[in-house]
Structure 1
Amino acid sequence: MSQVAATTEGLVAAYIGLLSLATFSIYTGSWSSLAKPPKVNGQKPNVDDDEDDEDNDEFDDRLSAADAYIFPIIGSVVLLGFYFLIKYFGTEIINYILGLYFTVAGIGSVWKSSLTILRYCMGTRWKAFSRYSFVLMKDSKNLSKVSFRIPSIVLFPVSAVPSAMYFWSTEAKKPALLTDILAMSFAHNALSLLRLDGFWTGCILLSGLFIYDIWWVFGTEVMVKVAVGLDAPMKILWPKSPYLSSDAGFAMLGLGDIVIPGTFVALALRYDLSRSGHRDYRRPFSKPYFTVAVVAYVVGLSTTMGVMHFFKAAQPALLYLSPACILSFIVTASIRGELKQAFEWTDSSSSLKITKSDEADSKDHEQPRSDGHADGVVKATAVESDKDSSVSRKEN
């Protein structure tokens, strides 16, 4: 079926849709980048106090200034690699290999992001679910442990559905809905793991990729060829129709235009948490830098779309997003008289102190189990549930 021309209303609907998806991904990913509330008074948790296994994704590594300097170089090498692969081997085999890879990776990515959002929505009610632990022991020494709660298991097969449908789709182009689900999950998890160590690093990264984006979009055909040729969940799509019809084609936004500025927005949220004087993000805290950064991203992306619509040509989004994010931070910090302090601040898992209010808040968020039992622990291969005391063996 031939593609019909997109109307102005359809294009506006597509821009709003892309803007909403991108902003949602950055917002949720930023909150996921916050460190889990620590144990108070330096106490080591016992078996029953351990977090679930899916929580253990906190890394001390941060993206440094040295990493930020070489990031555009690495990005250019990868982009050129895809360009020449498409040029000499065609898109069919490349898309098949990428589809296979993203199918496998997408299962874990959708599961992790869905679980994070579910836990955020449920709050302390999450602790009401039974927790099961598999512990591999040698004598009295714990060698390995995996902990999970019932929703984690239920969500896993559900999370595999988008990946399976994406891979086995027989359409000429992969369904946009499945592409968006996978792409947004990748963006969410990338933002939760890819953390900048400070605002200097963020400014270096955004400035370098500002030049990178301009060169590869305006200076060559490489960026556009790769973006259009690859049918992989590395971009989000929205139909150019107010009725969500695909007849007029799709507007697209690359994941790089979400993740790269998103790391800066997430850094602003972590800085706001640092300024609050406590580490538990479940407590309300002022978020001036984060709020301004999100608004700047929306304004920058809206400007990109407006210019693209007016000139009828592809635009490097970072041409507008990079200055918007950097200037939003500098202006906010200058108005608050915190520019020097903000640039000197370094994000790390040990950069904050635990206050007495944190200890009280940690206790407030402890929700007693309604069944009066502790969580169950499984040793070796024996499955034990805290709701079946006749089978399970409790650890004291």
Structure 2
Amino acid sequence: MDVSRLLDLAAQHFNDERHLIPMYLHLIASALFPIYAGAHASLSRPSSAAKSAKKKRRSSEAADEGDDEDEEVLQKLEGMSPRDAVIYPIVAAVTLAGLYYLITKYGARAINLIFGWYFAVAGVFSVAKLVSDAAVVAISFVFPTYFGWSGRLYRVDGSKKMAVIVHDVAAEAETGPPGAMVPAWTKTFFDVIWDIRAAIKLRYTVAMRIGNTPDEKTNFTIIHVLATLVGISTSAYANLVAKPWYLTNLQGFAVCYTAFQMLSPTTFTTGSLLLGGLFCYDIWAVFFTPLMVTVAKNLDQPIKLVFPRPEEAVKIPFAPPKRQYSMLGLGDIVLPGIMMALALRFDLYLFYLAKQRKKTAQQGDAVGSKEGKETEVEVIQKAPYIPVTGYLGDRFWTARLPASARPAKLNASFPKPYFYASMVGYTIGMLTTLVVMSVYQHAQPALLYLVPGVLASLWGTALARGEEKQMWEFSEAVDAEQVEVGGEAGKEEGGWSLDSAQTWLDMWDGLLKLIGVRERSTEVTSGKDASATEAEPAANEKAGKVEARGKQVDSKRDDVLFRFTISRYKAEQERDDSGPSDAAKDIAGKRE
């Protein structure tokens, strides 16, 4: 076949399939959106950066509880080992075969019912997480903390209902509260706006305690409550009323978005091994068996994204047009996506690695001689971490100001060569999948094209930049530097210890007391004398609270089996009201 004939066939095929281009663009954008958003949401301080410097805030800023507290949050990702990467494709194949057998033997109705409620529970959490994060971003544009106007940087002070001008290093000038010189109805309107802003940003703390276990605390806002209601409503509608394609896609987006903040291949070698195994698994499941296609068509669950195809006319007279759908499994998004999210975190790691400096420090003689000589040693000085995500509304409203006039957190950015390279490779793989599927009119294993696209783009970028060694050695395994030392120091996460055993024993003891099997005893059998035994309750009653296993436990109510409280969030550190604001200090440092 000559080239001209091949080009004619390609042009004819493009003309026949041109009506599907909007659907294909919709599919590609829907795959890239959760990857981009979830990968950025997974960012936190890398091991190559130091902790952010603690800054004192003015009491007015602390009182404005809705404003950011600049608290450092480390993402807790579930890592993988090479053993997990080898076993995962095998487990996936066995699970797929089991589902295929159940569907062909008993039908898909019962399985859909069981899986429907299972995914409903997961969907509530995922949708609530996606909706709450999206709402926080949208609110940052409506109620920003910083904004620029007439060449000045303003900071909104919700406690005083006014905006503060950060105009130079040493001083701040304050404006009057909005609506002070306007008619009363306008002032009332602005007061309502301020109240709405305060209600949206106000945080609460939920504390729950069972028996003598430490209080489990979490913070939330009204946005989290509303987002949870949206998640519950979505799952209830999908399981009790109907499952429109857009509702299925919303749940699918949410699952992908949440997965990127929970899973990590830990290293590029483990991730490459995982994708290589899934590459073979997908080819086997689609080309050599009917398993994948049968299960995907019969399981009506949020394990795929659904895209409506253009309506096609039917041959039956007066029959309505037939609507068909194209599908994309969530595995084709999540599995390459966790590797792409790892690439983004690697970009952040390299950025702070390049900012590290060697510093000479004095250290005592290791031999411990009597002369007490000191030796000079080289230590690595890390740059303090500045959050690179969030503040989208503040960045937007201060975009016209020069970088030197904005706080450092509004200028934080870093190059992303590996992440963008993986996005390009993923897009090329997705386009290849759609073209081949369109030409052969047969379902295609997307990982057959996505895995080479992502892996070739990542390792190729490392070879081109001469950073293959750093990429090979990079690991997100938790090291001692990233673990906070607290009351449970030395205790392995997820491991069994005396404290964890005592916790479960306390819970069991409380349950026995509740049902009346065991009576409450005031005797102490820990080997202490009677005087100490009598003195301890009085001391604890007077102190009010004692520290147990690194956390504050209310010792006044040791007989309480279950407690649940909701209180207003209280910052751990009090801020003084002297000196310029943090924004002014940041700008002053830049000018110096």
Deviation readout 1:238-286 (Å, 9 max, x if unpaired): 111289x983310110011000100111010010010110643332001
**Aligned equivalents of 2:218, 2:420: Cα separation in 1:** 37
- Structure 2 residue aligned with 1:130: 202
Which amino acid is the alignment partner of residue 232 of structure 1? Q
**Aligned equivalents of 2:110, 2:212: Cα separation in 1:** 52
- Structure 1 residue aligned with 2:265: 196
Pair member with larger Rg: 2
From the superposition, tell whether residues 144 and 16 of structure 1 become closer, same or farther in structure 2 (CA, over 3 Å): same
Root-mean-square deviation over aligned CA pairs: 3.5
The more displaced of 340-349 and 258-267 is 340-349
The more displaced of 331-340 and 56-65 is 56-65
Deviation readout 1:325-379 (Å, 9 max, x if unpaired): 01001111111111122111112455999xxxxxxxxxxxxxxxxxxxxxxxxx9
Choose between structure 1 and 2 for higher RCO, CA contacts under 8 A separated by at least 6 residues.
1
From the superposition, tell whether residues 12 and 112 of structure 1 become closer, same or farther in structure 2 (CA, over 3 Å): same
From the superposition, tell whether residues 137 and 194 of structure 1 become closer, same or farther in structure 2 (CA, over 3 Å): closer
- Structure 2 residue aligned with 1:248: 323
1:144 aligns with 2:216: yes
**Aligned equivalents of 1:26, 1:320: Cα separation in 2:** 17
The more displaced of 303-312 and 122-131 is 122-131
**Ranges in structure 2 where 5+ consecutive residues have no aligned partner:** 1-15, 56-64, 146-196, 313-319, 353-382, 390-411, 483-553, 555-562, 575-592
The alpha carbon displacement at 1:135 in A equals 3.2
Which amino acid is the alignment partner of residue 67 of structure 1? D
Whichever structure has more helix as a proportion of its residues is 1
The alpha carbon displacement at 1:10 in A equals 4.2
**Aligned equivalents of 2:261, 2:274: Cα separation in 1:** 17
The alpha carbon displacement at 1:11 in A equals 2.5
Whichever structure has more strand as a proportion of its residues is 2
- Structure 2 residue aligned with 1:296: 425
Q: 2:349 aligns with which of 274, 292, 308?
A: 274
* DSSP-derived class of the 1:193 partner: coil
* DSSP-derived class of the 1:206 partner: helix
1:28 aligns with 2:157: no
The alpha carbon displacement at 1:385 in A equals 3.9
From the superposition, tell whether residues 338 and 28 of structure 1 become closer, same or farther in structure 2 (CA, over 3 Å): same
TM-score if structure 1 supplies the norm length?
0.79
Q: How does 1:179-218 map to 2 (within 5 A)?
A: 179-218=248-287
Q: How many residues align?
A: 349
- Structure 1 residue aligned with 2:453: 324
- Structure 2 residue aligned with 1:119: 136
Is the 2:77–2:262 contact (alpha carbons within 8 Å) kept by the matching residues of 1?
Answer: no
- Structure 1 residue aligned with 2:304: 235
- Structure 2 residue aligned with 1:389: none
- Structure 2 residue aligned with 1:153: 225
- Structure 1 residue aligned with 2:396: none
Identity of aligned residues (%): 35
From the superposition, tell whether residues 62 and 249 of structure 1 become closer, same or farther in structure 2 (CA, over 3 Å): same
From the superposition, tell whether residues 247 and 10 of structure 1 become closer, same or farther in structure 2 (CA, over 3 Å): farther
1:78 aligns with 2:95: yes
The more displaced of 227-236 and 10-19 is 10-19
* DSSP-derived class of the 1:116 partner: helix
Is the 1:115–1:155 contact (alpha carbons within 8 Å) kept by the matching residues of 2?
Answer: yes
* DSSP-derived class of the 1:195 partner: coil
The more displaced of 133-142 and 340-349 is 133-142
The alpha carbon displacement at 1:152 in A equals 1.1
The alpha carbon displacement at 1:218 in A equals 0.6
**Aligned equivalents of 1:30, 1:185: Cα separation in 2:** 13
**Ranges in structure 1 where 5+ consecutive residues have no aligned partner:** 1-6, 354-378, 387-391
Is the 2:108–2:299 contact (alpha carbons within 8 Å) kept by the matching residues of 1?
Answer: yes
The alpha carbon displacement at 1:12 in A equals 2.2
Which amino acid is the alignment partner of residue 256 of structure 1? G
Which amino acid is the alignment partner of residue 222 of structure 2? I
Which amino acid is the alignment partner of residue 198 of structure 1? T
**Aligned equivalents of 1:295, 1:326: Cα separation in 2:** 11
**Aligned equivalents of 1:352, 1:199: Cα separation in 2:** 21
